[in-house]
Chain A
Amino acid sequence: MNPSRDHYPKGEELQRSLSARYRNASIWQILFLSALVIAILSLAALLYNVVDGAFGYVAFEYKNDPSEFTAKPLDDLNQQELLDILTANLSSGAFKKLDNEKAMEKRSRSDLHTLVLERLIQIDTKQTWSMTDSIFRSSEIKAEVAEKYPDAKLEFRSWLTPVFLTTPMSSKAEFAGVRTAILGSLWMVGIAILFALPIGTGAAIYLQEYASKNLLNRIIQTNINNLAGVPSIVYGMLGLAIFVRALEPLTSGSMFGVTDANGRTILSAGLTMGTLVLPLIIINAQEAIKAVPDSLRQAAFGVGATRWQTVWHHVLPNALPGILTGSILAVSRAIGETAPLIVVGASTFISIDPDGPFSKFTALPIQIYQWTTRAQSEFHAIAASAIIVLLVLLLSLNAAAILLRNRFQKKY
C-alpha cells in the first residue's frame, strides 16, 4: 500500500518508543511539579524565617545594677515604689518631659516598671539567638554566654508580646513597640480609602454604564490599566511633589490653623496611597459591575427608570459585594506598601500617637524596613515580630475578602 507506513515503528519497537515517550513525559511532569514545590518551600522558608527571628534566647546585661536603686527585687515592687525610684533618680528635666507625655501618677505599674528598666537600669543586649538555635543548641548557647558575657543574664524571650503591640516606638529594641506604627497605618489607609473608593467607584460606573465607545474613553481605560502598573515609588515621587510640596498649606494643616507642621503628614501619605490604589479599585469595581446581568438593567429601563435610577437601585446594590471585595484587596495592598511612604516622608522615630490627618506619622512597613536595616540583631527580632503583626493583619483582611466573595458569589 503506502510505502511510508513502513517507516513507523512496529511491534516491540513501538512499545519501546512509546514507553520512552511516557518516561520522558513523567520526568518533565516531575520537573513542572518541582517548580510548585520550590514556590511552596520558599513560602515556608519565608514564614519560618520570620517566626524563627521573633522568638529565642537573648543575653543581656544591666548597665546599672538594680540594687543601686532598690533593695527588693525589681519585680516585687509596687506602683508607688517604682514611681519613687523614678522621682529620686531621673533628672528633673527628663521627669518633666515624661510627665508631660502622660502624667506619671496615672501610669500603670508595668509602664513604670518598663521606665525603670529603660531609663535607670538600662538593659544592654549582648546577643540574640534564633528560635531554632535556642531550642537545639540550648546548652551550647548557655556555655557560650557564660564564657563570653559572665555578667549577662540569658532569657528565652518572645519578642512578640501584647506589650509590643501596645507600646510606642523606642530607641531601644527591648522597649520598642508598634502601637504608633499600627495607628499610623490605620489612619493612612482610612484616608486612602475615603479618597479612592468614591472616586474609583464613580469612575467604574462612568466607564461601564455611561461611556460610549469613543477615543477618549478608550484612552481613559488604557490609561487606568497602565496606572495599575506604574511602580509604587513613582507614586511616592508624585505624592512628594504634589501633596507634600505643592499642596503644603492644605496637607500640613496650616490652612486650618495647625502650626508647627510641614507637608509630611498622614494626610499626604493617605492621599498618595489613595492615588496608588485608585486604578486597582476602578478595575475591580468595573469587573463587579460587568458581572451584573444586562437583563436587570433592561428590566429597570423597561419600567421607565432613568439611567442613574437603574444604576443606583439595581446595578450598584448587586455589584456592591464585588466592589467591597476589591476595596479590601486595595486596603491590603496599601497596608503593605512601603516605598511611597519613605518618599513622602514617614518619620522613622515617633513615639506619640497620631491624632489627626495633620500628624506626623510612621507605619508598620516603615518600622519593619527601619528595623531590618539596623545592624543589631535585637532589631531584627522586633522586625520579625512586626512582620508577624503585619501578616496577621493582611491575612485577616484577605480572609474577610474571601468570605465576602463566597457569600455573595452564587447569585446569578
Chain B
Amino acid sequence: MEKENFRPLDLRKKLRPGESIIQALLFIAGILSIFITVAIVYELGKEAWLFFGNPDVTFAKFFGTTTWQPGIGRFGIWPLVTSTLVTSFIAILVSLPLGLAAALFLSEYASPKARSALKPILEILAGIPTVVYGYFALLFMTPLLQKIFGEGVEVYNMASAGIVMGIMILPLISSMSEDALSAVPRALREGAYAMGATKFETSLQVVLPAALSGIGAAVIIGISRAVGETMIVAVAAGAGPNFTFNPFQAAETMTGHIARISGGDLSYNTIDYTSLFAIALMLFLVTLVLNLVSQTIINKFRQRYE
C-alpha cells in the first residue's frame, strides 16, 4: 500500500502558504503608494469641493478679483498666484544660469579631483533644511538687498525669498543638468573634436544643445520645487496676500498662506479651512503636471541616447 503511493519524484506545484502570504504583504506595501495618491486627491478634492460649492465662491470672484480674504468673503486667488509666480521666477532666474554653468564646469572642465572636492559642497547646499534658508533670507539676504537697493526694499519681500530659493534649487538643477550633459554620447563630442573644435566650442555648441531636453526637464523640476517650497517664503516673503509684481514688496505665496493660516487656530468646517485645501489641491495638480512632464522628457531623452 505504502509503496504504491510513494513517488520518487514529485514535480507538481506545492502549496506554499508562507510564500503566498509574504507575496501578498509585499504587494500591499507596493500598492499603498497608490492609496496615498488617491487619499491626497480625495481629501484635498473633498474639502476643495466644499469650498467651491460655497455659494459665495463664484468663478468670477475666484479668477476675476484680486483680494484673498476668505474670512470676509473675498475670494480672488490672484494675489497668492502672482506672488508664487514672482518668487518662483526669481528662483529660476538665479538657479538656471548658475546651476547650468556649474554643471558645465563640473562635467566638461573639472578634473576628477576638482569634481570630488566641489560636488560635496553642492550636496551640502542641497541638504540644508529650508527653514534655515528662511533664516538666511530674512536675516542676511534682505538686509543685503536693503543695502544695495535702499529704502524701497521691505522687510518682508519676494526678491529675497526668491533669490535664496534659487540658491536652494541650484544643486538640483546643477546635478540634473550634469546628468543630462554626461548622457550625451562620446561619439558626438569626438565628432566635434575631429572637426577641429576646441573643448569649449564642443561643450557649448554640440554637447549643450544635445542635452537641452534633459536640462529642460531639470528646469521644470526646479519650477515645481520652487512652487511647492514653503518655509523660505513663509519666513521671508511676507505674511499677507498682496497683489503686486514688485519683487521688493511683501506678498504671501500659496504655500506661505497655507502655512500661516494652518499654523494659527484653525477650526474645521470653516471657509478658511476648506479654502486651504482648495489652494493645496491647485498646488498638487500644478506640481504633478510639472513632474510628469519632466519625467516624460527625461524618459524620451534617455531612449534617444541609449
**B-binding residues in A (CB < 8 A):** 21-22, 24-25, 28-29, 31-36, 38-40, 42-43, 45-46, 49-50, 53, 198-203, 205-207, 210-211, 217, 219-220, 222-227, 229-234, 236-238, 240-242, 245, 275, 278-279, 282, 306-308, 332, 335-339, 342-343, 345, 348, 365, 368-369, 372-373, 380, 383-384, 387, 390-391, 394, 398
Cβ-defined contact, A394 with B127, below 8 A: yes
User: Any chain A CB within 8 A of the CB of B188?
Assistant: no
The segment from B55-63, B65-73, B145-153, B279-287 found at the interface with A is B279-287
Cβ-defined contact, B235 with A226, below 8 A: no
Cβ-defined contact, A372 with B262, below 8 A: no
Q: Give Cα A326 to B242, complex, Å.
A: 41
B228 proximity list for chain A (CB < 8 A): 230-234
Q: Give Cα A284 to B201, complex, Å.
A: 37
Q: Give Cα A39 to B36, complex, Å.
A: 36
A383 proximity list for chain B (CB < 8 A): 135
Q: Given that A46-B140, A202-B26, A233-B259 are contacting pairs, would A338 and B230 also be in contact in the complex, using a CB cutoff of 8 Å?
A: yes
Cβ-defined contact, B200 with A365, below 8 A: no
Q: Mark B100-135, 1 if CB is under 8 A from A, else 0.
A: 111011100100000000100110110111111111
Q: Give Cα A25 to B284, complex, Å.
A: 43
The segment from B2-10, B37-45, B74-82, B244-252 found at the interface with A is B37-45
Output the least CB separation between B181 and chain A (Å): 12
B19 proximity list for chain A (CB < 8 A): 306-308
A42 proximity list for chain B (CB < 8 A): 125, 167
User: Any chain A CB within 8 A of the CB of B210?
Assistant: no
Cβ-defined contact, A245 with B204, below 8 A: no
List, sorted by A's number, 25 A–B pairs whose CB atoms are closer than 8 Å: A21-B198, A21-B201, A25-B198, A39-B174, A40-B121, A45-B140, A202-B28, A207-B30, A211-B30, A227-B36, A227-B37, A231-B287, A234-B287, A238-B36, A241-B47, A242-B43, A245-B268, A306-B19, A339-B234, A342-B262, A345-B262, A365-B129, A372-B235, A391-B128, A394-B127
A282 proximity list for chain B (CB < 8 A): 33
Q: Given that A29-B109, A343-B258, A398-B127 are contacting pairs, would A49 and B295 also be in contact in the complex, using a CB cutoff of 8 Å?
A: no
Q: Give Cα A383 to B288, complex, Å.
A: 34
Q: Given that A46-B132, A336-B130, A369-B131 are contacting pairs, would A233 and B280 also be in contact in the complex, using a CB cutoff of 8 Å?
A: yes
Picked from A43, A240, A279, A398, the residue with its CB within 8 Å of the CB of B33 is: A279
B199 proximity list for chain A (CB < 8 A): 25
Q: Give Cα A202 to B22, complex, Å.
A: 10
Interface size class of B (residues with CB under 8 A): 35 or more
User: Any chain A CB within 8 A of the CB of B170?
Assistant: yes
* Minimum CB distance partner of B263 in chain A: A342
Output the least CB separation between A65 and chain B (Å): 34
Cβ-defined contact, B131 with A365, below 8 A: yes
Q: Given that A25-B198, A29-B200 are contacting pairs, would A237 and B43 also be in contact in the complex, using a CB cutoff of 8 Å?
A: yes
Cβ-defined contact, B139 with A49, below 8 A: yes
Cβ-defined contact, A278 with B36, below 8 A: yes
Cβ-defined contact, A202 with B224, below 8 A: no
User: Any chain A CB within 8 A of the CB of B227?
Assistant: yes
User: Any chain A CB within 8 A of the CB of B161?
Assistant: no
Output the least CB separation between A394 and chain B (Å): 6
A345 proximity list for chain B (CB < 8 A): 262
Picked from B118, B131, B224, the residue with its CB within 8 Å of the CB of A229 is: B224
A225 proximity list for chain B (CB < 8 A): 291, 295
Q: Given that A206-B27, A230-B287 are contacting pairs, would A223 and B37 also be in contact in the complex, using a CB cutoff of 8 Å?
A: yes
Rank and list the top 4 A-B pairs by shortest CB-CB distance, nearest first.
A231-B228, A336-B129, A202-B29, A25-B200
Picked from B33, B131, B204, B276, the residue with its CB within 8 Å of the CB of A203 is: B33
Q: Give Cα A106 to B39, complex, Å.
A: 50
Q: Give Cα A343 to B268, complex, Å.
A: 13
Cβ-defined contact, B128 with A46, below 8 A: yes
* Minimum CB distance partner of B46 in chain A: A241
User: Any chain A CB within 8 A of the CB of B229?
Assistant: yes
Cβ-defined contact, B139 with A53, below 8 A: yes
User: Any chain A CB within 8 A of the CB of B32?
Assistant: yes
A224 proximity list for chain B (CB < 8 A): 33
User: Any chain A CB within 8 A of the CB of B93?
Assistant: no
Q: Give Cα A225 to B135, complex, Å.
A: 30
Cβ-defined contact, B200 with A28, below 8 A: yes
Q: Given that A32-B109, A241-B47, A372-B235 are contacting pairs, would A275 and B102 also be in contact in the complex, using a CB cutoff of 8 Å?
A: no
Q: Given that A220-B34, A391-B128 are contacting pairs, would A35 and B27 also be in contact in the complex, using a CB cutoff of 8 Å?
A: no
Cβ-defined contact, B291 with A203, below 8 A: no
Q: Give Cα A36 to B185, complex, Å.
A: 25
Q: Given that A36-B118, A394-B129 are contacting pairs, would A25 and B258 also be in contact in the complex, using a CB cutoff of 8 Å?
A: no
Q: Give Cα A343 to B136, complex, Å.
A: 22
A220 proximity list for chain B (CB < 8 A): 30-31, 33-34
* Minimum CB distance partner of A27 in chain B: B200
Interface hits, B167-222 → A, CB 8 Å: 167, 170-171, 174, 198-201, 204, 221
